[in-house]
Amino acid sequence: MNILAVDATGEILSVALAGFELRRAAKKHDEALLPLVERLLKKAGADWEDLAAIAAASGPGRFTGIRIGMSFAAAAGYQLKIPALAVSRLAAAAGRSKSNLVLGALPGWKDEVYSQSYRKGKAQGEAAWTSPQDWPAFRDAAETGGHEISYGETTAADLLPVARILLAAGKLPPFKPFYLKPASYERPRG
């Protein structure tokens, strides 16, 4: 099952397919995404028609990057008549662990940490963002509660295992962005 995954949520744009991944630092992900996907398809020896689905990182991450990746997946999926899958980067982070109880965690802006608990791959409770000052205690409490911590940036390759599970389940979740912070959130000036 060939799934193309795209992650435009951070400074590094990444695309992945069947054991291949390309990454590119790009200021304008919207201009770089299609050429990078075409390079990936060529490298993997695949064509657009070989794809079974397209997965996009739905967040958390940069608002514009989320929209770029998801718009690309939606448009390409529609054109190819294949599913477009929204994959949480927190689920992708948690999916790197083999533990049954995992706290998927991502670095955020100004050293904040975004996190969510997963039990056997299913989200437990609400996702949260934690200040850098509060993260050590939050992490310690999660570990004391039996969580393995899976912390770090994700790439498109990390989305693929979660996308495969979603596609195999047959019932696709809603294709919508995962904005952990409110749209009115602004970076403090200073």
pLDDT tens for residues 104-157? 999 988 899 999 999 999 999 999 999 999 999 999 999 999 999 999 999 999
Q: Residue 94: pLDDT band by 50, 70, 90 thresholds? A: very high
Tell me what pLDDT residue 181 has: 74
Say if residue 183's pLDDT is above 90.
no
Question: Which residues lie closer than 8 Å to 161 by C-beta, 6 or more apart?
Answer: 92, 95
Fold of 3-89+155-169: Nucleotidyltransferase; domain 5 (3.30.420)
Determine the angle formed by the axes of helices 63-80 and 29-44, rounding to 10 degrees.
Answer: 50
Q: How far is CA 151 from CA 81, 129, 147, 165, in A?
A: 35, 13, 12, 21
Tell me what pLDDT residue 187 has: 54
Q: What residue ranges do the domains of the chain occupy? A: 3-89+155-169, 90-151
Tell me what pLDDT residue 185 has: 57
Q: Residue 27: pLDDT band by 50, 70, 90 thresholds? A: confident
Tell me what pLDDT residue 170 has: 85
